[in-house]
Chain A
Amino acid sequence: GESVGLHLPTLSVQEGDNSIINCAYSNSASDYFIWYKQESGKGPQFIIDIRSNMDKRQGQRVTVLLNKTVKHLSLQIAATQPGDSAVYFCAETLSGGGADGLTFGKGTHLIIQP
């Protein structure tokens, strides 16, 4: 697969532990945020999204927190499993819709230790 993880921040957690991946976004006008998971050799896979009128959203084993005051986004993964090992990207958009595309962060490599 592609070595997209080169020089990325790395987070190593024990299987079964919770993990928190952080992202700082740059544009205070951004109003829609998405977390993606990318496994080696594959395209980014949608995990969860949140709009700027919310500060928390929960999915299955995942929670996204948004702090607009400090322009910070986090992804919490509960009870991590080996299949959670991947590179995680946050993405933001200004338009609140699909028109202008997404701006991506650099990514974090999550490693799950057995």
Chain B
Amino acid sequence: DAGITQSPRHKVTETGTPVTLRCHQTENHRYMYWYRQDPGHGLRLIHYSYGVKDTDKGEVSDGYSVSRSKTEDFLLTLESATSSQTSVYFCAISELSGKAFFGQGTRLTVV
């Protein structure tokens, strides 16, 4: 799994509550990404980071924020969870080559 740990692996939360997902890497890769995966949509990019404190929005960033205070950690926060954010979330890492490696995913259910 390329030294990527996502936590938690499963979470059920209520609508309107804040949620933070964590991605931790041990590969010292520069780039980190958060994707969500939904039936019929494949994987879509939420946010990405190209270094400590350097982040940018992806295709589906509304309702999400991220932070990267250390090279190894990339946090994804849902400020106020909605049912449309029920999904499987994947963290990925890469170097400049573009070859990305993925974590095992976090299944989030918003009820």
Contacts and interface: CB of A to CB of B under 8 A. Distances in A.
A68 interface: no
Given A32-B98, A43-B102, A97-B97, A7 B40 contact: yes
Contacts, number: 83
B100 A99 contact: no
Which of B45, B59, B95 has its CB near the most chain A CB atoms (within 10 A)?
A: B45
Contacts of B59: 103
A96 B104 CA distance: 25
Interface string A38-55: 000111111001000000
Nearest to A3: B39
Interface of A is mostly: loop
Interface residues of A, number: 32
A16 to B, nearest CB: 29
Interface of A: 2-7, 32, 34, 36, 41-46, 49, 89, 91, 93, 95-107
